[in-house]
Structure formats: C-alpha cells, structure tokens
Structure 1
C-alpha cells in the first residue's frame, strides 16, 4: 500500500456542485448528495418531502430548499430515462427539451415585503398555520382570498407566485403539502393534445372554511373572471349612471304618478251613461 496515496476525502460542507454553492446547514448539504444519488422518482419524492420537513423544523433554510427542489426536478428526466426500454438513448432524448425558465421578480424588496405581510396574516387557524413556512402561508393566503370571494381558486401557478411574492417551486410545494395534509382538494383539468387548463383548488378543511367565513381576507382579488357567475350578481343603480338619465327617469315616474291619480280615461260607454 502506497503511504503517499491521496486519501479519499469526504464531501465538504458547502461547495457541493459545479457552481460551488454554499449551503447554510449540513442537513441541506447531506440531502444534496443523497438527491444526486437517487435512482427513481419515488426516492426523489421522498427526499423532497424530507427537505421541506427540515424547513418546517428550522434545520434547512428556505433558499436551500428551493435549490434542492429544483435540483430534484432536474434529476427526474435522468431517473425516468434509466427505467426506459433498454435504457439506451432515452435520457438523451428527454434532456433535449428546453427547461422552463424561472420567473424572477423585478423588485425583490417588494416581493419580500409582500411575502412577509401575507405570510403573517391570520387567514388560517393556529393549529393549521404551524405546518407551513412563511412563504407557504403567503401562498395559502392568496388561495384563501380567492376561495372567500369566488368559492374556488383557478389561478395559474405563476400568477399565485407573483401575488404571494414567492417562487413557482414554493407554490407547487405548498399545494403538494396542503393536499397531503388534507387541507385542500385539487381538481386537474387535462386536455389531450393541448395545453392543460389550470387546476381548480377547493379548501377541504371545514375548520379553515369557517375561519375564512368569519374573518377578514388579507388578499382581495380585483377581478371577476374566476367565477363566471359573479358578474350576474353585480347590479348598478340606475340613478348613479348619468344625471341626465336620472332626471329623465324622475320625469317618467312623475308622469306615471300623475296618470294614476287622475283616474281612468273616459270612454264612449261612460259618456252615454
């Protein structure tokens, strides 16, 4: 055995990828290595769940969790490619697709303030809020506002992320976690051969629904497109449309009252009598 042979070094805490990313905790660095060695989608799902459980318990930073989530999503085509028929060239075919471009906020300060404001609002009962992080609570605040005003939420993931001041990955993880806990119900609307419609999200927790019904909403949507029947409930007062039209309506109402008070018009039969 050569005494001068270099010893095998264990992975250092911090620089774990080509970009020399430094993680804020050892748990995040360890999960990065395990995700890189995962061989299937089931293992990736289990590891991603462990990542966000670590965020809830304070062992992993939310920024590191987003990075690990995206890293796991990039690993999925490779894992699926290994399980293909023969395993020859499948991974190369899958990797040819252009990955989705990450939507970034133009004003990080405004997004941070919006996320903290919505995440700190009391739109959920205390026994439900403890299961989610600040960013996840901001996403659920948008969801609760839509359900309170329209009965459901059919916003796109990017739209929810922009309103909550979080990333697209945080929205997906929040919906997945809330669905797993039984707090929401997600109805998918696939369209074969075309782009799928947005999912419809309902709140399944009776306690949360009662909380939303009694309390104010931190998110107030300024649109009526979520519910096609909402526009039928909007009624404008005719007297507030135009002052000219209001005068015209008043004159017509006065003529009707005058005609009613003068009695019925005389007819030929009454003249003969």
Structure 2
C-alpha cells in the first residue's frame, strides 16, 4: 500500500526534467530553432571596420614661390597660369624658330581619322596645325577660359575648318565622354593644372584602350632653356605623375630645341 506514495516523488522529478530540457525553450540546442541574441555589452562590441584608404589625391600647401601657387603635387609646386592675356605670346611669329612645333606635330604620327583632344589648348596654335593632319577625324580644343575658346571659334570660322571643336572643361575635369578620344595632347600646359590628378584621371577615362597621351614640356634638366623653373618639367617627374593614373611611359623625343615630347599609353 505504500508503493503509490513512492511513485509521486518520481513523477514530480520526471515532470521537472521535461520542463527544463523541453525543446520549445529558447535556450534549446535544437539547430532548427533560431533566436535573437541579446546585444553585446560595450566591452564585447565589435569595432567598426576600418575605412578604405582615400582615393583622393594628396596635395600639400606651402608658402608660394614667386611663380607658383603654393600647392604641391608629388613634390612639384604647381605654377601660376598664363591667362588669355598671353594669346599674343602664344601666337608669336618666331615660335617655329624657337620651338619647332611643326616637328613636334609630325612626331605625333596621327591617323587621318584620329580624334585627339588638345588639353589646355589656349589660342589653338597646335589645334589648327593638327587639324590638317586629321581631315577625317577631329581635334577637340579643351580649355577652361571662355576667352580662349572664343578666339578658337573665331579662328575656325576664318579658316573654314569643320573638324575643330572648342570644348569648355573645368579645373578638375575635361568633361570629355568616356573612351571618346584616340589621343590627348598637352603643350606646355600640364604644369599649370591646379588639379593634375583629377584632370589626368578624366583624360585616362576619355581615352580608348591603347590611346596615347603626348606631353610636351620645357626640359627642366637643361638650365639653358630660357623658361622660368616652375614652367619646366623633368622626364622623371612626368613619368611619376603619369604612372600614378595608370599610364605607361613609352618613349621620349628630345629633338626639339627647348622641349621634350613624352609619350604615354593607356593599357
């Protein structure tokens, strides 16, 4: 008669075990049951991921030299800009004798249907001479000064050409369409660009694969070149800056009286 009383404690313990280990509990090890974990304490919080390195170019600001703007890029101080007031100097009669631009233009070796952008075209001195070599192509004269572009428009009308386009850019963008040009030319202008990395990035974007960049600058290696120091560039500096935007140096022509013509390629 005492056995039923002994079963009561056993039944109680069995029921308690079921309550503790039943799979409907939130802490059940059943892999099919998902639960929301409580937020970690401040000491257990996961630190935020490190921000990716900035892709913006790094410029330095220092006291400006006599002909500079006090802004430095890859160790080079950017020079002051020649404004539209300098058109007469760009169009001077003795420029061929001093710089032999006809020889530089011949070295570009352009196809008749090439599309080339003259970046920092100024008065269009090179623009119109190149236009003769690409009768089935186009020369896009890019400048940030409306006065320069107005001069180019007037010259184009006077010469009766139909393969020259005056194009307004900005200090940090050529505003050219992606993969729209075969080549880009910069004649004694690049050293004046206030945003060289951004401008070159936009040029690389505008170039078709295999496109060329022709960089014509006064030779800084030659102290006899009668040009102010900041308006010259060494080959080593030019290669460093062009490689920074993904261009590969191809060759340098040193047959001109004062300048070197450096050629770079977009892979």
Give the TM-score band, short-chain normalised. Answer: under 0.3
Greater strand share, structure number:
2
When the two structures are superposed, what TM-score results if normalisation uses the length of structure 1?
A: 0.23
Structure (1/2) with the larger helix percentage: 1
Rg: which structure is higher? 2
* TM-score, reference length from structure 2: 0.23
